[in-house]
Chains A and B, each alone.
Chain A
Amino acid sequence: DIQMTQSPSSLSASVGDRVTITCRASQTIINFLNWYQQRPGKPPKLLIFAASNLQGGVPSRFSGSGSGTDFTLTISNLQPEDFATYYCLQTYSAPSITFGQGTRLELK
């Protein structure tokens, strides 16, 4: 099974900051890496698919990069609505897919 390790598990930042979240796969997943945002009481929302492709309607301050085993999600110019939990998801071994453990982004 492919394991996904996200870091950090939590992060404090201020409005306007730039933050980076990383996700590491236990084996190569090429670019089958996706990022979700989850706000409290809501289902996950797809932000980025295939490592670097912005889902429609997602603000351009979100970006993704990486390939192989190491991936990053960057959020520039943090906005109040961005404080949420973020998950990576590998779909290389679909349909058996694996999420990272999540990164909670909190307001400093």
Chain B
Amino acid sequence: EVQLVESGGGLVQPGGSLRLSCAASGFTFGSYSMNWVRQAPGKGLEWVSYITTTSSTMYYADSVKGRFTISRDNAKNSLYLQMNSLRDEDTALYYCARSGVVMTGPPEFWGQGTLVIVSS
């Protein structure tokens, strides 16, 4: 069974940093590209970032570019999101999601999310 379990969320002040983790199991983690998607309270879904299987290429939404860094450790079956210079508008539930077999395939498997609250 595919499982994705996010952790690392919490309350942080504006300008602060946080590192999210996503532990994967039930599939060959190193064979799939991965995403972070977020959802502000009561709002819709927003794609945040994407990383290829070998970490050769990373992509970011304009809203987080230059502040967030996605990474992965295939030996540890883990995905990460380093978030710096956090803003109020980064407050959201952050999901990790496994990409499809091909890049244009939709994310099929999602974790339960970890909540990040940016507030003073």
Chain A residues with a Cβ under 8 A of chain B:
1, 32, 34, 36, 38, 42-44, 46, 49, 55, 87, 89, 91-92, 94-102
Contacts and interface: CB of A to CB of B under 8 A. Distances in A.
Given A43-B95, A43-B113, A87-B44, A95 B106 contact: no
Given A49-B105, A97-B35, A99-B47, 18 more contacts: A34-B106, A42-B112, A43-B95, A43-B110, A43-B111, A46-B106, A46-B108, A49-B106, A87-B45, A92-B104, A94-B104, A95-B99, A95-B103, A96-B50, A96-B61, A97-B47, A98-B47, A99-B46
Given A43-B95, A44-B45, A87-B45, A95 B33 contact: yes
Given A43-B113, A95-B59, A96-B59, A55 B44 contact: no
A44 to B, nearest CB: 6
Nearest to A38: B45
Interface of B: 33, 35, 44-47, 50, 59, 61-62, 95, 97, 99-100, 103-108, 110-113
Summarize B's interface: helix, strand, loop or mixed. loop
A61 B9 CA distance: 37
28 contacts: A1-B62, A32-B104, A36-B45, A36-B106, A38-B45, A43-B97, A43-B112, A43-B113, A44-B45, A44-B95, A44-B110, A49-B100, A87-B45, A89-B45, A89-B106, A91-B104, A92-B104, A94-B103, A94-B104, A95-B35, A95-B50, A95-B103, A96-B59, A97-B35, A97-B47, A99-B44, A101-B44, A102-B44
